[in-house]
A = this chain, B = another copy of it.
Amino acid sequence: MGNIHGHSFRITTFGESHGPALGVIIDGCPPRVPFDAAFLRSELDRRRPGQSALTTQRKEADAPEVLSGVSADGLTLGSPIAIVIRNGDQRPQAYAEMKAAYRPSHADFTYDAKYGIRAVEGGGRSSARETAARVAAGAVAKTVLRHACGARIIAWVESVGEVRMPAAAKAPTLKQVEATPTRCPHPATAAKIDALIRDARADGDSVGGVICCVIENLPAGLGSPVFDRFEADLAKAMLSLPATKGFEIGSGFAGTALRGSAHNDEFVRKGGRIRTATNRSGGTQGGITNGEDVVFRIAFKPTATVLKPQKTVRPDGKATELSAKGRHDPCVLPRAVPIVEAMAALVAVDHWIRDRGQNAPFGRCGRKA
């Protein structure tokens, strides 16, 4: 269980890290939306490893095959969209160690505890590889959002280790984010992060960091007041990503130090709309979007795979020492940027569909034609 996400725009993913393929079925996609195959490929390329010296050298072609749900002339049909991505460059022999000992802070032990069995090659479902299916689905979600309400999503690396970029007044552009392999849009900080990651790699070690993400141009009214608050679904989506340890929206943990009178966002009229003068709320109030930018941050721990020797135990409980020899990604942050965006898009499109199903005015929402 647990491989289905969303209520009305619902995705189901599959695929072991070193099995034949991984993929996703999207159920509930609105019909008549131009399917953007080039965008799908470019999003997958953004996630793909092996693009720079900063990431794992695993070679993955990540060529998506769309098996259903799109008409001959490139429109969504409203039926399930299945996308499959073949795995290549499998090196199961590099993972023999996984069988012999539980890798610290990996999921080897918990898989055995839960399932009593596991795919010993490459971490099974608990692998960054799994996220390719999310990015594929997220590309479709972004396309739908763009057509439905013009919403845009942009994420970037804000800090790695103790190197943090200065606070910016507004979200960067995609071009600024993609300007360096670090995906930190602040050039001076990007250079420091680049050096930090290279240093960690040279050390056989790894580093973590924080990603910031903004959803712009989302209409007010998405989300709901109790369990399915917009930020609650975002938090779940983000904490469902490998290596995440925290989520905050708007003022987040830092906001807990403010007084209410300093934290509240006053309402103002701007450009004919009701807006807030500040955005410490981070774009939602009472669990519902208020039309301001949705702004949130995600903490990623340093990657668990390090090449330094570590103490651990074997499945039978005997103590042993382990030195990883598999491919090694010293910092997942740059590659996590498109994954964060994908999950944000999936949450947003799901709530967009749910909201108009329940709340659009009767009669206004005439169907078809």
Contact = CB atoms under 8 A, between A and B. Distances in A.
Nearest to A162: B257
Contacts of A25: 3, 12-14, 25
Given A67-B23, A206-B260, A311-B268, A356 B365 contact: yes
Interface in A331-369: 353-362, 364-369
A69 interface: yes
Interface residues of A, number: 168
CB-based closest 8 A-B pairs: A107-B286, A357-B357, A2-B224, A2-B228, A206-B260, A246-B248, A236-B236, A110-B288
Interface in A4-32: 4-5, 7-8, 10, 12-16, 19-23, 25, 27-32
Contact of A240 (B5, B159, B228, B355): B228
Interface in A221-260: 221-229, 231-240, 242, 244-253, 255-260
A105 interface: yes
12 contacts: A2-B228, A109-B285, A149-B362, A161-B256, A205-B259, A232-B240, A233-B236, A235-B247, A246-B252, A260-B302, A269-B318, A280-B301
A119 interface: yes
Contacts of A259: 161, 200, 203, 205-207, 302, 306
A113 interface: yes
A114 interface: yes
Contacts of A367: 113, 116, 219, 221, 355-356, 359-361
A109 B267 contact: yes
B313 A269 contact: yes
A143 interface: no
B77 A4 contact: no
B77 A14 contact: no
A312 interface: yes
B115 A78 contact: yes
Contacts of A303: 260
Given A15-B67, A105-B264, 9 more contacts: A77-B124, A125-B225, A149-B362, A203-B259, A207-B260, A232-B235, A232-B237, A245-B249, A245-B256
A260 B111 CA distance: 21
A130 interface: yes
Contacts of A368: 112-116, 221, 359, 361
